[in-house]
Amino acid sequence: MNPRRRLLVVTALGLLPWTIITSPSTVTLVFPFGLVDGASGHLILINEYLRFSGGQVAPFLRAWPIGVALYAGALLSAIGGVFGFEDARLTGGLLVVTAVSQLPLLAGVSRRMGYLALPVGIVLMVVVAWWIWPLVTGAEEH
């Protein structure tokens, strides 16, 4: 896969909701940059969320900013690919670790009565990592 195309795909993962949280009264979209309330369309950026919460969030919610930091590493690696400095193992590996880091968020939200967390972007990260992986093993591209 062309490094520019790979960068475009990895960037797109940052523009899609990673998790869709449904509750009896609303739907919330969890993006790497913030939360969007499905009913009002109101966006709360991740830095605002962390600032307003005073850093005192449920342990499962800490997975979100950790995943954002890991995703930023994958994005930087993909940017490096455009300039000939990417290691596809790092890009793909960071995408998988980002997806795994979001599992506590899924479990924590889904344990709440009436809530369901759908791992949309998380599944796509694993698919993209799998798509990048042939570059690492030397297999032919898809």
pLDDT digits (tens, 9 = 90+) for 80-139: 999 988 788 899 999 999 999 999 999 999 898 999 999 999 999 999 998 877 665 565
Q: What is the pLDDT of residue 60?
A: 79
Domains of the chain: 3-136 (1.20.140)
CA-to-CA separations, 108 to 65, 104, 126, 133, in angstroms, rounded: 15, 6, 21, 30
Q: What mean pLDDT, rounded, does the chain reach? A: 88
The residues that bridge with 28 in the sheet, in sequence order, are 21, 37
> Is residue 140 over pLDDT 80?
no
Q: What is the pTM of this model?
A: 0.87
pLDDT at residue 86, as a whole number = 79
